[in-house]
């Protein structure tokens, strides 16, 4: 094996990163309302993650 200890596996392609996880229906299925709900959930998840990170950064600086 020629890999060094610091070598990482190749990054996933951008198409693979955009793919929905198993068990989640694709955005093209379902009604527009269901797609909107899925999008809103993703936004809330991003906001929650950002808020937790922000409080962690504030806590680390004090």
Tens-binned pLDDT, residue by residue, of the chain (62 aa): 455 555 555 566 555 555 555 555 555 668 999 999 999 999 999 999 999 999 999 988 87
pLDDT of residue 19: 57
Total domains present in the chain = 1
The answer to whether position 38 is within a domain reads: yes
Asked whether residue 1 is assigned to any structural domain, the reply reads no
Answer whether residue 42 is part of any domain.
yes
Owner of token pair 């906001």 = 47
The answer for 41, left when phi > 0, alpha when psi is -120 to 50, beta otherwise, is alpha
Residue 39 belongs to what H/E stretch? helix 32-61
**pLDDT for res 30:** 82
**Is position 12 within any domain?**
no
Flag whether 45 is in a domain: yes
SS3 9: coil
Domain span including residue 38? 27-61
Q: What phi, psi does 32 have (nearest 5°)?
A: -60, -40
Q: What is the pLDDT of residue 11?
A: 60
């Amino acid at each position: 094996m020629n890999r060094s200890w610091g070598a990482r596996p190749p990054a996933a392609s951008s198409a693979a990163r955009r793919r929905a996880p198993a068990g989640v229906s694709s955005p093209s299925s379902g009604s527009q309302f269901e797609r909107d709900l899925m999008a809103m959930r993703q936004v809330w998840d991003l906001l929650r993650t950002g808020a937790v990170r922000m409080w962690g950064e504030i806590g680390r600086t004090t």
